[in-house]
Structure 1
Amino acid sequence: MTTLQVNALAQFMESRNFTAQQIASFSYEQIARLPKIGAKGMARIEKWLAHHGLRLPQRVDDKRHQTPPKAQAKLTQAVHLLRKNGYDVQPPPTGKQRDA
């Protein structure tokens, strides 16, 4: 990653000491919405994650399953605050797991 992506992720995480695992816990959409992160930046971040054996959760192309942008921003902030204070936040179950 270039300094631009590192700085954008550091601002989002409120710390320069973030790990690939922490970044991989966010969705593609959450990272793509960050200021200064464009298509090339996303490609660099995905390549960096792949180097660590990780990847971002798949993109959701179906608009019916997407959270509205304002609500998503609030959720992102809430998750970050919880993690910052020592809580373990897990993504919601998907597909068959949700129905079980």
Structure 2
Amino acid sequence: WKLSHTVRSRVTATEEPHRIDWELVGGIDAHGSWLVEEAESGCAVSLVVTYDAGSARGTLDLPAFVSLDWVVDRVVDLVVEEGERVVERVVADLEGERRPVDLAVERR
């Protein structure tokens, strides 16, 4: 069994150059912000995500024996990996070369 799901987002507001708000389009109820703050060695970029796990129940076609909580626990690692790729690409676009980035994830 393998789960595949594509999500699309749209920008809902911006506060240049410090904030980009977004929401998912269709299906899962999720929204968030990219926050950019000055830091000692450049800038710190945060991705804040808020979602209603219950909204995924009707969107995802899960087998009867698979709980949504189990899926969410596994998806977090994939989201972190994708976040690292996105941030590395943004840094490369802004700085003109690729470099590793530090990405910390907090789960509440």
Tell me, yes or no, whether TM beats 0.5: no
The structure whose residues are more often helix, as a share, is: 1
TM-score by length of 1: 0.30
Which protein shows a greater Rg? 2
